[in-house]
Structure 1
């Protein structure tokens, strides 16, 4: 594998790291390349935990900022290698990971290499397993192994935000809602009890549910409660005795995880419910002085983050955090994933000017 050259442009670095496939669970080649590249810079203390790489400045500054990005992607679907494309007259880089979130990671890698005298000390973090279950998350693993590395006054996550600042994030809950019945031959259906039919009220309640919009610290977060998977059935001639509906609840950061669980149980009262994944949201964090300085420096209008991101991990540790990265979030995981080249360079310039300011 060719060496990663961090002296290239942030666009070229984006293309280079996108063309190193790193689907969740297969991040090692990219982590190896990042670790080797950063080892060339004596102003950085470089630490590795599995496929998570940390690079720190230790300049004795009065404040420290953590800047993080994940290096894994969802599965590839004939959208690598990357290529340059024109969209409405604007050049883009097309391919898996360009939006979520290797463009943001590339910007961070370039700045980590080049900013030898920043205004604050910086802890750069690039981590694995973000796109899968929370218990595999590399940032969570790092927090268990090295909680000291999370000491910071402010944090920025390079998740795609169209080059704007998105404060906080929604929480997320996944639950399995089950119905049971009794098997019988489908030619004698009256001898059994159809578990799939019994799931109809679950779907009806979800279809009738109206998501709420909740204002938190001046930003309006839209909630959502939806069925995302249904599974049941034994064979083409058997009445099913079991059905599972997987439900995803995206809740405003004003709710605690416990309140989110109680809300889902209330909406689906009367059914067996097993919560299988639960992550708290994060309040916007825009009242922190460093956050206000950052927003002013990049000239952004803060918006809410509707999806869950790892800003929640920093928030849980008492570190205010925002999302700031190139790419349209609606194209994350899309087969036509692509990022405007101008956004990559604009985010680089925004971070560079703020981190370099006297």
Structure 2
């Protein structure tokens, strides 16, 4: 664990060790300051980089006049530490042979370590590079440090192509699905449950909503050569007031993960048609991102990685870059299925392989 003393990071050390050093700095969302201080100290020691800081977010860039500019981005924060005694995915980090355990090992301090190693080493890259490190990714979108940078420093986020170093197990994942949430409300008439015929059961009415969702066949949509699987599910149900009262209101919360060929408005219309006859309210939505793999920089990157690209089914901040007109992909060390888990871990060689792929492409 760290205290208020500035932690010095060594970007020229083994990138797996650098990852462990990052994990050792607790940076649960809202507590990124110590880590941001350490990252800023490292970046400002690199004379070839221009650096700005906003809150606990940082942007550093080369300005060599190259024909293309690439953005490498990653978030500094993690989800809260595990509560289960004996969990290994916590802070400080723990080595088991070549496997590194700790909060953020996959999501995404391995990726941040790769960014820092590249930022220090690539003084004469073949493309100009912008490095983005931001806070508050693991909480509500309104707090996102990346969103704040987009609003306050748009000129610093101009680029031809972006790589978000979220965990992908070393495979390029293009674009991402969009996501939308809806409240589907049914109403009835309250009555004493001993005289149920006097009321109208709102929870029973919600059964038809669940039937339509159960029988719905999710689509697989091809976008720019990648097949995005959609999903539409009930995720929460609430209703009722007491154990002896016929409920007069029930709410089914629905989450729709939609392919990036749709806008949030088109996704909403799709859900409204499926649930026609019910009160449907959209409560949240975020657009997806097309893969953009036809861009020359993207094609060169895929070739350098040497693995067949895959679609990203979850939502990530590549969508923010896509909204700026910057094609973006996800590529980083570690298995995304281990993110946020009580035994979060990453293999050292996965981090080294990610660094090598990006270095080969950019150097």
TM-score interval w.r.t. the shorter chain?
Answer: over 0.9
* In structure 2, C-alpha distance between the alignment counterparts of 1:236 and 1:107, rounded to whole Å: 55
Q: Which residue of 2 aligns with 1:95?
A: 102
Which deviates the most, 25-34 or 113-122?
25-34
Instruction: Report the TM-score when normalising by structure 1.
Output: 0.93
Contact kept, 8 Å, 1:61 with 1:119, in 2: the verdict is yes
Query: How far is 1:310 from its partner?
Result: 1.1
Q: 1:211 is paired with a residue of what secondary structure?
A: coil
Q: Deviations over 1:239-298 (max 9, x none)?
A: 333222221111111112221111111111122222122111111111011111111122
Determine which of 70, 79, 96 is the counterpart of 1:85.
96
Task: Give the paired residue count.
Answer: 352
Contact kept, 8 Å, 2:172 with 2:309, in 1: the verdict is yes
Q: 2:25 is paired with a residue of what secondary structure?
A: coil
Q: Any stretches of 5+ residues in structure 1 without a counterpart?
A: none
Query: How far is 1:25 from its partner?
Result: 2.8
Which deviates the most, 64-73 or 228-237?
228-237
Displaced runs of 4 or more, over 6 A: none
Q: Which residue of 1 aligns with 2:329?
A: 322
Q: Which residue of 1 aligns with 2:47?
A: 42
Contact kept, 8 Å, 2:189 with 2:246, in 1: the verdict is yes
Q: Which residue of 2 aligns with 1:158?
A: 165
Q: Quote the RMSD (CA, aligned, Å).
A: 1.7
* 1:92-241 alignment runs, 5 A limit: 92-241=99-248
Q: Any stretches of 5+ residues in structure 2 without a counterpart?
A: 84-88
Contact kept, 8 Å, 2:90 with 2:342, in 1: the verdict is no
Change (3 A) 1:298 1:212: same
* In structure 1, C-alpha distance between the alignment counterparts of 2:259 and 2:114, rounded to whole Å: 30
Q: Which residue of 2 aligns with 1:3?
A: 7
Query: How far is 1:342 from its partner?
Result: 1.0
Instruction: Report the TM-score when normalising by structure 2.
Output: 0.92
Q: Which residue of 1 aligns with 2:80?
A: 75
* In structure 1, C-alpha distance between the alignment counterparts of 2:285 and 2:263, rounded to whole Å: 10
Query: How far is 1:205 from its partner?
Result: 1.5
* In structure 1, C-alpha distance between the alignment counterparts of 2:281 and 2:148, rounded to whole Å: 25
